[in-house]
Amino acid sequence: MNDAQRNHYDVLVIGGGPAGTTIASLLAEKGRSVCLLEKAHHPRFHIGESLLPMNLPILEKLGVLDQVDAIGMKKYAAEFNSTDTLLAQDTFYFAKAANPNHPFAYQVRRSEFDELLFKNCQQKGVTAIEGMTVTDTELEGSVKKIQARDDQGEPHEFSARYLIDASGRDTVLAQQLNSKQKNPKHKMAAIYGHFNSVERRTGNDTGNISIYWFQHGWIWLIPLKDGATSIGCVCWPDYLKTRNTPLAEFLQHTLELVPEIRERMKYAQLDGEAQATGNYSYQSNIMSGDGFLLIGDAYAFVDPVFSSGVYLAMQSAMRGADLVDQLLENNTPHKYLISQFENSVSAEIKAFCWFIYRFNSPALHKLLMSSDEAAQHPVKQKLKSAVISVLAGDAYNNPEIRLPLRAFKFLYLINKLAEFKKNHAFNRFRKQQNQAQ
């Protein structure tokens, strides 16, 4: 038996991150033979440590919720901080979402989380191979083929009835199909690292993510269970062009621009190296084709401000598993099923994008920080509950929050008009930044 005959499966998956391992695990549970190829070896570093409450049902479906609980730190809320509004800090507790059934999520080291998911898919019968870099794919015909090389440089060929690209930012198929496009509406970049000895909140707020607006964008602080804190700055391109020092020094300088962060990092030290990701927002204009599918970051990535990346990846993988299983069962393309899947993925991304594109705008900034918990105003609380639902990952197809979100968006427009000059100046600045190379 030659290599191609031996390595033939129902489904081939490129990428061993959350999207790839989720769809591989669920397809294996449905009785499909699945092979997953991951170019790296676990554990490997990855950014994006903050999960959403709506991740929990997916983790439970995969049978790993208890294991995630063991490695993760519970976060009960997302905390926003500003020096430009009357309310300097506001905390959005997930228990106050329209659906209160998932009142917390987890902060996780991605090296541990991704390895856990990888081992889980192996236990479910997936042939999951590390150190296997895809070099070419053949999408023509009823059998899809992959050429790959192992760590020793030896070539391998794999084939399957269906091919799934979950390669994350490598975007293997989008690169091959020439379908990857930079997002013209959102051009930001990030610098980040892990720090020790960062001051944390107390009590149940210990694990909350802290987000700070500042003049060059926004900053995240994500506390991890082992004592480290993931800290990153998402900045406008023009600011990053001013860097004339090593990245670690530039990151430290940027963080010190915010007085409270400077205070929280009084005794902090960088653990490892500082890293940067330039102009990371993109989308493929092709999500699927005859016998192939793009999911998670292999299809699109927008911005980490609402910690939606891992959730969207795993959610599209869960829906994708049902789609691929049905397509293999019918053995013919089913246009309605594919269209339904693509529409649901696009709508969910769009629900987050409305907030992401406007996050740094004065109008949304002011609106998010105008919550009045003490007054317990029923209308304000209804609006805040809808926003919390988005923060929890429940942004799509929830009829209970449709009207409140429309009202929230209407108030956003009112805020824009009320301070027209300030918002108009921001829109001009943002357009300039989006045109920057």
Q: Are residues 295 and 407 in the same domain?
A: no
Write down the pLDDT at residue 332: 66
The two three-digit tokens of residue 62, written as one number: 């995969």
Backbone angles phi, psi at 18, to 5 degrees: -55, -40
Quote the domain boundaries for residue 32.
3-71+109-182+283-353
Q: Are residues 169 and 78 in the same domain?
A: no
Q: Are residues 178 and 55 in the same domain?
A: yes
Q: Are residues 196 and 338 in the same domain?
A: no
Instruction: Please report, for the domain that includes residue 154, its CATH number.
Output: 3.50.50.60
The dihedral sign for the CA sequence 174, 318, 62, 388: positive
The amino acid sitting at 33 is S
- Return all residues near 327 (Cβ < 8 A) that are at least 6 apart: 162, 333, 334, 337, 338
Tell me how many domains the chain contains.
3
Q: Are residues 34 and 97 in the same domain?
A: no
Q: Are residues 129 and 25 in the same domain?
A: yes
* Helix, strand, or coil (residue 244): coil
The residue from 324, 353, 382 where one domain ends is: 353
The residue from 302, 330, 353 where one domain ends is: 353
Write down the pLDDT at residue 375: 45
- Return all residues near 140 (Cβ < 8 A) that are at least 6 apart: none
The two three-digit tokens of residue 18, written as one number: 């959350």
Cβ neighbours, 10 Å, residue 224? 20
- Return all residues near 114 (Cβ < 8 A) that are at least 6 apart: 16, 17, 18, 21, 42, 43, 44, 46
Nearest CA to 119 out of 58, 40, 64 is that of: 64
Write down the pLDDT at residue 333: 67
Cα separation of 159 and 152, whole Å? 21
**What's the gap between Cα 173 and its chain centre?**
19
Which pTM does this prediction carry?
Answer: 0.94
Q: Are residues 139 and 287 in the same domain?
A: yes
Q: Are residues 244 and 322 in the same domain?
A: no
Cα separation of 189 and 170, whole Å? 17
pLDDT tens track, the chain, 437 positions: 445 557 899 999 999 999 999 999 999 999 999 999 999 999 999 889 999 999 999 999 999 999 999 999 999 999 999 988 778 899 999 999 998 899 999 999 999 999 999 999 999 999 999 999 999 999 998 999 999 999 999 999 999 999 999 999 999 999 999 999 988 888 888 999 999 999 999 999 999 999 999 999 999 999 999 999 999 999 998 898 899 999 999 999 999 999 999 999 999 999 999 999 876 789 999 999 999 999 999 999 988 888 899 999 999 999 999 999 999 997 666 888 999 999 999 999 999 999 999 999 999 998 998 865 544 677 778 899 999 999 999 988 788 999 999 999 999 999 999 999 988 888 888 888 877 65
How many residues are given for the chain?
437
Q: Are residues 364 and 409 in the same domain?
A: yes
- The answer to whether 159 touches 406, Cβ cutoff 8 Å, is no
The residue from 301, 329, 353 where one domain ends is: 353
Write down the pLDDT at residue 3: 57
**Cross-strand bridge partners of residue 275:** 192
The amino acid sitting at 57 is P
HSE, CB side, 13 Å, CA atoms: give it for residue 283.
14
The three state secondary structure string of 338-390 is: HHHHHHHHHHHHHHHHHHHHHCCCHHHHHHHCCCCCCCCCHHHHHHHHHHHHH
Tell me the angle at which helices 309-330 and 18-29 cross, rounded to the nearest 10 degrees: 30
